[in-house]
Structure 1
Amino acid sequence: MKLSVVVFFALWAAMAQAQYFNEPVDTTLPSPQQSLGHAVGDWHARHDQIQRYFEQLANQSDHAMLEVIGYSHEQRPLLQLVISSPENLSRLDDIRQQHLEQAKQDKSIASDAPIIIWLGYGVHGNEPSAANAALVLAYYLTAVKTEEVAAWLSRAVILIQPSLNPDGHDRFALWANMHKGSTPVADPQHREHIEPWPNGRPNHYWFDLNRDWLLLQHPESQARIAQFHQWLPNVVGDFHEMGTNSSYFFQPGIPSRNYPLTPKRNFELTAAMAQFHASAFDERKQLYYSEESFDDFYIGKGSTYPDVNGSVGILFEQASSRGHLQESINGLLSFSDTIKNQFTASLSTIRGAVAKRQELLAYQQEFYQSALAQAKADKTKGYMLTDDGDHSRLHALLDLLQRHHIAVYPLNRDWQDDDDNYLAGQSYFVPLQQAQYRLIKAAFSTEKNFKDNTFYDVSSWTLPYAYNIEFKAVSREPGRALASQQWQAKPLLKQSLAAGAYAYAFSWQDQQAPLLLQALLAEGVVVRSALRSFSALTNDSTVQFPPGSMVVAAGLQQDKEWFSHLQQLQQRYPVKVHAIHSGLTPEGSDLGSHNFAVINKPEVLLIAGPGVSSTEAGEVWYNLERLAGISPSMVEPDRISRINLSRYTHIILADGNYRQWQDSHSSLLKEWTEQGGVLWGHKDGAAWLAKAGLLQAGVWQSKEMQQLIPQQDLSYADREALAAKQRIAGAIFSAELDLTHPLTFGIPRVRLPLFKNDIMLLQPSSSPFVNVALYSANPHLAGYSASEYVPKIAQGAAIIAHNLGRGRVIGMTDNPVFRGYFFGSSRILVNAMFLGNSFNAPLQAE
């Protein structure tokens, strides 16, 4: 009886796998079907089911080893299954070390050196064919005993990351499974195929993790990049899905849209690999295409980051069934069909990489050697970075560079370059003469002109601009002024506060200051903010405090434990706190003056739901938590009239479509604001506030801006070029701030870089004190913009803020928290949370 059960399960597994491959398998190993309880593709496998199968496989196969390389925001494990021959696995670390030395140290390549193949699946959670194909692939590589597979495992180390976004993956799997009928419904209008907001594509905070390879704002990306640099794979497979009516895409993409620093040889190898994909799909008579639709420009994506790091990144896109079965122009598309195509491309990637092993190994070595040669010939020798008083923001940038294996060196003596003086302890040098030459050039690029102005994603991502750190390309190295050791993060600043002072104060400059403030407010500590600079007597000396500095006056405290809270929280947040001995100040207002504004604990409502951009709402949510310690309440737009608004101090409208709101909604928000609330809107959120009469500002809408682009004498073939010119896919512009305005407190310089990916513009106000930031006279810093737009942007307002009754309305043309890494402009939003009621700017009409 027992034997018959074993035979039954073996036959059942063989029948289930036959839809994907026909080679005989080792029946002693568990199949995905046995682990899941159903054939792959019958249901959407959850992340925990994928994990369980990989654990079973790694426990029973001598060809596989499973690692947990990190955890997602929702604490799901990030998995990496390493597959190779038993001999390779037994000396895996030696192989890895040898591989890194061959790549970067110009050592001869051993004839038997394995190639490293990285296959990443499911970075977009609602593109599930990839993660489910990883199940089939893992079984195939370990259970199939053909000579070809044995040769692959002998000559390659294959790294499988089955779900790069497990939180989004499970969000989608639950949706698809909960709507599956006993007979699959192929109707595209069926609920199964129409996900609710925010859908399964993004991660927990609704970020697109495929845009985070360079920015590394999330634990999923940080774990992934740590593994990337531990292994330096030769080939990276990046598996995605696209529209249901498509077929199958593999790179090369559009040749004119490749990133210019990527070597030509990379694209030649990509094209050579494409021959293996084409052959595999030809054999199965499956439709496919390449050299269209997708580019290879933005280096922060899964198929392009490898290209500037010595690998060959290859994008794959499968038409999506968005459920279990859906009608398409190519006939019925089943979930199992999509999985099989991803499995086919996975095998062709391995087959091509092993066949091109020596060429790929040689290319990677040449990549790094040529990088050093190009760095030596480059007139620019590196970049100087300058500390502007916000150590946390600067160190966040230095930490990001370090995660990308970019070396940064502090100055240990003062150094001068032309008229610029760089002080020891406050200046840092990023030399170009290092292996990451191409990545550094890309990260610091301020290019504005491009061979092809059509971009699938952004055209600029300049890291120092995003962090608002002053930087300069220098044509010589600092020499003896340079420290011998790379920068390393230092332990948190901890201090012992003396009890009994008249007051305690800390500067608003450092990025950690808002976190300390919010923590104090949460404990009931009473805090005031200086609206002007002042000096005060401390134990050591007279200390100058800039505008925005926070003061905890002993005489205002009601909680007997307030000083204990202050001591404990200062240990958590590395902000220098000064003990002040008198309310009488040597300079500026005394501590009892009206120039110290009351700071109340923010209670924030973020409008988040259908109609609102989930990406931008998620960026606000994430940055409020990370930079201000505020977890907002979130409410869908259609619920705002049914909730108690009086409990909130702030309401935020991110970019989105608010057309469903009627005059009654405008009246509701107007009444709430007049009672003392702070109403914030950016991009189309600001445009709606203006249209509703809540933000007193004119708007140059997108249609008006597009009319600046000549459209005469165009042929039908010019459609795409015109569309590319009419949009700003993603560029960086500068604005001039009023640094005396509370919304700008803590920002070190008048000029602030802003990220722009929308052509809507707020018009400046004629009322005094209302224009918090206007675009610079020459605002274009980096990225592509049609030349016709730049003069118009120079006439626009970046930030407008004014009174409305006892409340305040703030509008911003751009998204201050773009992709979570624009730390410089994010301070505007943070200031609005704590200082939004501390300015007084009545409109002239009032």
Structure 2
Amino acid sequence: MRGYVFFVLALVISSWLTTLSNSVMAAPVQDYLPDKVKYDPKIPTPEQVLGFELGDHYLRHDQVLRYMQTLADTSSRVSIKKIGQTHELRDLVLMQFSAADMQPKLEAIRQQHIEKLATGQPAQASDVMVLWMGYSVHGDESSGSNAALAVAYYLAAAQGEHVNRLLNNSVVLLDPSLNPDGLDRFAMWSNMHRGSVASADPAHREHIQDWPTGRTNHFWFDLNRDWLLLQHPESIARIEQFHLWKPNVLTDFHEMGTDSTYFFQPGIATRTHPLTPVKNTELTKSLAAFHAQAFDQQGQLYFTQESFDDFYYGKGSTYPDINGSLGILFEQGSSRGKIQESINGVVTFEQAIKNQVTASLSTFQGALINKKPLLDYQADFYSNVDKQASDDPLNGYLLSEKHDSFRLNALLTTLKRHQIEAYQLTKDLTLDNQNYGKDYSYFVPLAQPQYRLIKAIFSTQKQFQDNTFYDVSAWTLPYAYNIEFKPVKRSWGLKTREQAWQVETPKLANVSATLNEQSDYYAYGLPWDDYLAPKFLSLALQAGIIAKVSSEPFNAITQQGQHSFARGTILFAKGVQTQPDWRAKLTKIEQQTALTLLPIKSGLTPIGADLGSRSMYPVALPKVLIIGGKGVSQYEVGEMWYYMDRYLAIAPTIVEANRIAKLDLSRYSHIVMAQGNYDQLSKSAIENITAWVKQGGTIFGQKSGAAWLVDNKLLKTSYLSKKEMADRFETANLTYGEREALQGQQRIAGAIYKTELDLTHPLAFGYSHAELPVFKNSTMLLMPAKAPFTTVAKYTEKPLLAGFSAARNVEQIAKGVTLIAHNHGKGRVIASTDNVNFRGFWYGTSRIFSNALFFSKVYSTKAE
């Protein structure tokens, strides 16, 4: 009897699961769209092109593109524009929707729109509005990209007064997939882990992605933090189009935790950046009323003014706010698969798509009703620039970098991509006893259309109305590039070129010295201060060229006479080379890197060590192992990989932690540990690593990777943990409602600190100034080691440069250690409190990472 009951119960459960599964499998595109709307039968639906209905499978990027191209081929309302490619060579496209008779005139419409903003003309009711719809910058938040097909079909095929009015009054730019590489990674994961009957169990493998997740791009970066930083081709292409069109509204469709409902802006009012106009928030609220009405009609749960903020201008929903547009964030509770249980009931992929479509259409409705206010707002944003600049006590900012033109040009290029103009000095300038040479100094005036963005980029704000941040609290770009900058209150005596700096194609180096195979120079010197010097060295070592590095400064005789060489100079000496064509190989590398070697006539130096001295250390090509896998930050590992790939021409080996115990470590020179939980390393793995270091390996750890080195007695110092730092704050008399404010005080969401480098240490080779800005987003803090000469960099007495940090944290961090290094047996241990490659744009500290790879055996410091 019990068996029969069990059998019947099993049949009932199976039937229920099948019914539930079928109910969420998919839906015809019209089911995602408003009722009682007729569609042009000549325009294919997604299911007609793809062979299945929306929601049946997670779409790959090629399927998204196939449908979008079909719309462009069949609808007179649509055109498609390729705007770039991803790292994995997937096409980035921008769909352009308008009334059919406007399509041939889109370029003229765009130019008129931009010209009116540039000339300060007031908006007219007849002006065309520009709406930008952006979907799924996080690849595993793909309900947006799947919804984009339904929205595109609506714009291409819907009939009736509403859609006609929309397309006659606006150009709708639709970016269906902001992160194609991540989108495909997640689509593959989700589709391969489901059957015909979907599992709603949150523990099912479909809902738990492997490492790295589909959230990130090819190099495991969060592209939603790259709108301002512009380190990746997806962001560069998108920002170019953004400024070509300057949309009135830009939407940014995301997903959040499964137990959440649906969020739309405005966010938390007190966490809006002060440079964002109040009118921006008011208009955002106006549009929010239309989202609320749409979701009310459908009975869908939603919320506003919680969790999310509008502070960091490097996100898709905030970058528009500092550029005269309205950025709107949408967040859908994620099914992270076909179907998943939540506290609000079962979340289905189909419903997630429908909610994203609903918010897209309510955006159209709200924008149409608010067309004139939106146009007026953008016109006023730019027409008021001159007055804002004239009222500002500052005139602009000076940028100066004498030793490394690459970093300087990289910063100028980023500014230029944001439509910010910089002007080179035509005359040397002395200001506050500081000399700014005309050959390497630039002025960024505030009196230009991007006034507000300039203020944001150069901001060193430390005090805020609300100290809780969803993302970073500072991103001062000159600090990131380690470029000297100075606010200028008056421009008296400041002479600049009339034409603004332009991005130039890198020039070939002057290679005449090495082109002649008969040249009989004793050696060639490579200064280490240029950002691409490590890449030059890497390519030379890969070509079999023998190199040494000078640990002390020296003078040598060159073609131009006596020349001073700093610590860290790389030497390619004739007498030790084994390659008969080594000069030709160096010439090729000069051309690749646009760097010029300095020919040295003799090994006998007028000042300092001779070139055959013991202070000239051999340099080897590093073979790098990065420990990754579940529990390790995919962002930080990706940043290391990206830096090595792009700027060192080195391919690291990335290995999951659970494989270390059985790995032959002898083939590697370096092991790198990023932020992560390394409890998964077995006892045998730890023993393997420890023995490898003692035998001569170099291990580098940052943040919790550095803490692991301490815990496992490889790094001979101590540290203050996150908990120990948090315990310094009083909690006895706080109410429950104050807990979030306390957490904001205890953490460092992302601030900029000043450190002091020991410029004589090999890990500081290439730096000309002892003061170095670092990015800090952790309260973990290394303590000074007892042994002398082990501290490479420490925080200054007053270290906070920009962003928020509670006074108690700043006091504790002051004079603490950020970089420490010493011997361990025959090996070396290097630890950093901070992330030296943060988000790929912290050029100032990434040199420490390359120095750790190339020069770890140049120093020798006992730990005890």
Residue number in structure 2 paired with 1:85: 99
The answer to whether the aligner puts 1:394 opposite 2:414 as a matched pair is: no
Could you tell me how far apart the structure 1 residues matched to 2:417 and 2:496 are?
21
Question: Residue 198 of structure 2: SS of its match in structure 1?
Answer: coil
Residue number in structure 2 paired with 1:269: 283
Mapping of 1:488-567 within 5 angstroms? 488-490=502-504, 491-495=506-510, 496-498=512-514, 499-567=519-587
Question: Structure 1: which amino acid aligns with 2:270?
Answer: S
Residue number in structure 2 paired with 1:769: 789
Higher deviation after alignment, 326-335 or 384-393: 326-335
Q: In the alignment, which of 449, 454, 457 is matched to residue 471 of structure 2?
A: 457
Mapping of 1:788-803 within 5 angstroms? 788-803=808-823
Determine if contact 2:222/2:635 at 8 Å carries over to the other structure. Answer: yes
Could you tell me how far apart the structure 2 residues matched to 1:272 and 1:360 are?
10
Determine if contact 2:550/2:570 at 8 Å carries over to the other structure. Answer: yes
Question: Residue 814 of structure 1: SS of its match in structure 2?
Answer: coil
Could you tell me how far apart the structure 1 residues matched to 2:125 and 2:326 are?
21
Could you tell me how far apart the structure 1 residues matched to 2:444 and 2:800 are?
24
The structural deviation recorded for 1:15 is 4.8
Could you tell me how far apart the structure 2 residues matched to 1:270 and 1:381 are?
32
The structural deviation recorded for 1:371 is 2.5
Determine if contact 1:66/1:79 at 8 Å carries over to the other structure. Answer: yes
Could you tell me how far apart the structure 2 residues matched to 1:698 and 1:113 are?
64
The structural deviation recorded for 1:795 is 3.3
The answer to whether the aligner puts 1:589 opposite 2:603 as a matched pair is: no
Mapping of 1:805-820 within 5 angstroms? 805-820=825-840
Question: Residue 505 of structure 1: SS of its match in structure 2?
Answer: strand
Determine if contact 1:169/1:200 at 8 Å carries over to the other structure. Answer: yes
Could you tell me how far apart the structure 2 residues matched to 1:678 and 1:370 are?
56
Segments ≥4 residues shifted beyond 6 Å = none
Residue number in structure 2 paired with 1:3: none
The structural deviation recorded for 1:19 is 4.4
Could you tell me how far apart the structure 1 residues matched to 2:414 and 2:628 are?
30
Residue number in structure 2 paired with 1:18: 31
Residue number in structure 2 paired with 1:65: 79
The structural deviation recorded for 1:739 is 0.2
TM-score of the superposition, structure 2-length normalised? Answer: 0.95
Could you tell me how far apart the structure 1 residues matched to 2:437 and 2:365 are?
54
Determine if contact 1:697/1:763 at 8 Å carries over to the other structure. Answer: yes
Could you tell me how far apart the structure 2 residues matched to 1:16 and 1:683 are?
48
Determine if contact 1:763/1:795 at 8 Å carries over to the other structure. Answer: no
Q: In the alignment, which of 194, 206, 210 is matched to residue 224 of structure 2?
A: 210
Residue number in structure 1 paired with 2:135: 121
Deviations for 1:306-347, whole angstroms, at most 9, x for unmatched residues?
000000000000111111111122222111100010000001
The structural deviation recorded for 1:480 is 5.7
* CA shift in 2, pair 1:16/1:448, >3 Å: closer
Question: Residue 136 of structure 1: SS of its match in structure 2?
Answer: helix
Q: In the alignment, which of 241, 247, 252 is matched to residue 255 of structure 2?
A: 241
Could you tell me how far apart the structure 1 residues matched to 2:590 and 2:54 are?
53
Unmatched 5+ residue regions in structure 1? Answer: 1-12
Determine if contact 2:151/2:360 at 8 Å carries over to the other structure. Answer: yes
* CA shift in 2, pair 1:653/1:313, >3 Å: same
Could you tell me how far apart the structure 2 residues matched to 1:194 and 1:382 are?
49
Residue number in structure 1 paired with 2:707: 687
Deviations for 1:29-65, whole angstroms, at most 9, x for unmatched residues?
1111111111101111100000011111101110000
Determine if contact 2:632/2:675 at 8 Å carries over to the other structure. Answer: yes
Question: Structure 1: which amino acid aligns with 2:467?
Answer: N
The structural deviation recorded for 1:843 is 2.1
Could you tell me how far apart the structure 2 residues matched to 1:462 and 1:760 are?
22
Could you tell me how far apart the structure 2 residues matched to 1:89 and 1:16 are?
25
Mapping of 1:333-482 within 5 angstroms? 333-477=347-491, 481-482=495-496
Question: Structure 1: which amino acid aligns with 2:673?
Answer: L
Determine if contact 1:627/1:830 at 8 Å carries over to the other structure. Answer: no
The answer to whether the aligner puts 1:299 opposite 2:313 as a matched pair is: yes
Question: Structure 2: which amino acid aligns with 1:350?
Answer: F
Residue number in structure 2 paired with 1:327: 341
Determine if contact 1:431/1:477 at 8 Å carries over to the other structure. Answer: no
Could you tell me how far apart the structure 2 residues matched to 1:419 and 1:770 are?
34
Determine if contact 2:27/2:55 at 8 Å carries over to the other structure. Answer: no
Determine if contact 2:661/2:682 at 8 Å carries over to the other structure. Answer: no
Mapping of 1:77-226 within 5 angstroms? 77-226=91-240
Could you tell me how far apart the structure 2 residues matched to 1:480 and 1:709 are?
48
Question: Residue 672 of structure 2: SS of its match in structure 1?
Answer: strand
Higher deviation after alignment, 35-44 or 20-29: 20-29
Residue number in structure 1 paired with 2:722: 702
Question: Structure 1: which amino acid aligns with 2:352?
Answer: T
Determine if contact 2:429/2:494 at 8 Å carries over to the other structure. Answer: no
Could you tell me how far apart the structure 1 residues matched to 2:310 and 2:42 are?
43
Question: Residue 795 of structure 2: SS of its match in structure 1?
Answer: strand
Deviations for 1:542-561, whole angstroms, at most 9, x for unmatched residues?
11111101110011111112
Unmatched 5+ residue regions in structure 2? Answer: 1-25
Could you tell me how far apart the structure 2 residues matched to 1:616 and 1:53 are?
36
Determine if contact 2:147/2:357 at 8 Å carries over to the other structure. Answer: yes
The structural deviation recorded for 1:111 is 3.3
Higher deviation after alignment, 619-628 or 728-737: 619-628
The answer to whether the aligner puts 1:579 opposite 2:599 as a matched pair is: yes
Determine if contact 1:103/1:361 at 8 Å carries over to the other structure. Answer: no
The structural deviation recorded for 1:21 is 3.8
Q: Percent identity?
A: 50
Could you tell me how far apart the structure 2 residues matched to 1:843 and 1:633 are?
29
Question: Residue 355 of structure 2: SS of its match in structure 1?
Answer: helix
Could you tell me how far apart the structure 2 residues matched to 1:634 and 1:65 are?
42
Question: Structure 1: which amino acid aligns with 2:622?
Answer: P
Determine if contact 1:390/1:511 at 8 Å carries over to the other structure. Answer: yes
* CA shift in 2, pair 1:15/1:69, >3 Å: closer
Q: In the alignment, which of 268, 286, 295 is matched to residue 300 of structure 2?
A: 286
Residue number in structure 1 paired with 2:850: 830
Question: Residue 807 of structure 2: SS of its match in structure 1?
Answer: coil
* CA shift in 2, pair 1:351/1:478, >3 Å: farther
Determine if contact 1:104/1:365 at 8 Å carries over to the other structure. Answer: no
The structural deviation recorded for 1:791 is 1.4
Residue number in structure 2 paired with 1:250: 264
Could you tell me how far apart the structure 2 residues matched to 1:563 and 1:641 are?
43
Determine if contact 1:388/1:469 at 8 Å carries over to the other structure. Answer: no
Residue number in structure 1 paired with 2:779: 759
Residue number in structure 2 paired with 1:725: 745
The answer to whether the aligner puts 1:745 opposite 2:765 as a matched pair is: yes
Could you tell me how far apart the structure 2 residues matched to 1:181 and 1:595 are?
65
Question: Structure 2: which amino acid aligns with 1:694?
Answer: L
TM-score of the superposition, structure 1-length normalised? Answer: 0.97
Deviations for 1:495-549, whole angstroms, at most 9, x for unmatched residues?
1224321111110000011111100011000001111111111122211111101
Question: Structure 1: which amino acid aligns with 2:644?
Answer: L
The structural deviation recorded for 1:486 is 0.8
Determine if contact 2:29/2:46 at 8 Å carries over to the other structure. Answer: no
Determine if contact 2:27/2:54 at 8 Å carries over to the other structure. Answer: no
Could you tell me how far apart the structure 1 residues matched to 2:27 and 2:159 are?
15
Determine if contact 1:514/1:629 at 8 Å carries over to the other structure. Answer: no
